[in-house]
Amino acid sequence: MAIEFTKYHGLGNDFILIDNRSSSLPIVTPEQAIKLCDRHFGIGADGVIFALPGENGTDYTMRIFNSDGSEPEMCGNGIRCLAGFLAELEGESRNQDSYRIHTLAGVITPQILPNGQVKVDMGLPRLLAAEIPTTLTPAPEKVISQPLEVAGQTWEVTCVSMGNPHCITFVEDVAAIELETIGPKFEHHPVFPQRTNTEFIQVVRRDYLKMRVWERGAGITLACGTGACASLVAGVLTGKCDRTATVELPGGLLQIEWSEIDQRVYMTGPAERVFTGKLSQFSSSNP
Ligand SMILES: N[C@@H](CCC[C@H](N)C(=O)O)C(=O)O
């Protein structure tokens, strides 16, 4: 059986998108996803995203496998790409510019703007230790500016869940961080029972942050949407930034707002289609 795919990226955070609307189970296994994401022996991507039928009254369901085959609850750049992919799949019959998407992090709503950018209602940030989850602070406390020993150094970290876990550290200079060495040590630190995404943030101005990220299950990526949202929330909680800011990532810029009105986080950024292809002689997990 041949499986068609479309490659998209959001600021260089790249994904293989698969039309999975005729089945409620992903047609690719986590093991197959690892192979497809391989940049030398596969297509190359940070993850594989499936467009599945909606659940609980939503328009569609998104599931995603990281490049290591693990399944995260949410992906910010990925859901913008999914919105572009769904618009493409619906073609002439498309009668809406926003979609209610069921994810493991709840219902998330991306909206395609007239300029082609996608604005996403990312929902409410979760701040309690048990919601991250982390054992760093006893539940039900929030984890704000807490010391954490990693690689023989004490880091001051703030933890935020956007459905998936994020551990944020504010630093003087993001370029000086040895991400490849320190990233995995944060990801696998015993205080994070479900591992963690790790963001290093340099506050350039109260409305402009520079970010580098080590993603759980994917390593260094050029951008992380949930990470940018979590970092802005961490910046507000620690008094370092405004509720609306531009986040500069190696792959480009995201606009993030933590609304004072509804307390939800909004993310705006691009979703770019790269190419389509066909996986021939591919044995589907769910024929
Ligand atoms: N790149 C994503 C996040 C993808 C999931 C992450 N690796 C995890 O395991 O939580 C984004 O843009 O949010």
pLDDT at 1: 76
What's this model's pTM, rounded to 2 decimal places? 0.97
Q: How far is the centre of ligand 1, averaged over its atoms, from the C-alpha of 14 (Å)?
A: 11
Describe the chain by its helix, strand, coil percentages, rounded to 5: 20, 40, 40
Q: How far is the centre of ligand 1, averaged over its atoms, from the C-alpha of 76 (Å)?
A: 7
Is 205 annotated in a binding site? The answer is: no
Q: How far is the centre of ligand 1, averaged over its atoms, from the C-alpha of 106 (Å)?
A: 15
Pocket of ligand 1 (CB under 6 A): 13, 66, 72, 75-78, 164, 197, 215-218, 221, 224-227
**Among 16, 186, 216, which residue has the most ligand 1 atoms within 8 Å of its CB, making it the best to mutate?**
216
Regions of the chain with pLDDT less than 50? 286-287
Q: How confident is the model over 239-250, as pLDDT tens digits?
A: 999 999 999 999
Element (H, E) at 120: strand 118-121
Is 13 annotated in a binding site? The answer is: yes
What is the complex's ipTM, to 2 decimals?
Answer: 0.99
pLDDT at 287: 39
pLDDT at 283: 59
Nearest ligand 1 atom, CA 78 = 12
Is 149 annotated in a binding site? The answer is: no
What are the DSSP calls for 26-44, one per residue? -SS-HHHHHHHH-TTTSS-
**Among 50, 187, 213, 224, which residue has the most ligand 1 atoms within 8 Å of its CB, making it the best to mutate?**
224
Answer positive or negative: Cα dihedral of 102, 108, 112, 117.
Answer: negative
Q: How confident is the model over 183-229, as pLDDT tens digits?
A: 999 999 999 999 999 999 999 999 999 999 999 999 999 999 999 99
pLDDT at 108: 98
Atom 4 of ligand 1, residue of closest alpha carbon: 75
98/50 Cα distance (integer angstroms): 18
Q: How far is the centre of ligand 1, averaged over its atoms, from the C-alpha of 93 (Å)?
A: 31
Residues marked as catalytic: 75, 224
What are the DSSP calls for 165-185, one per residue? EEEEEE-S-GGG--HHHHHHH
Task: Give yes or no for a contact between 108 and 75, defined as CB atoms under 8 angstroms apart.
Answer: no
Is 77 annotated in a binding site? The answer is: yes
Interhelix angle 76-90/225-237, rounded to 10 degrees, is 140
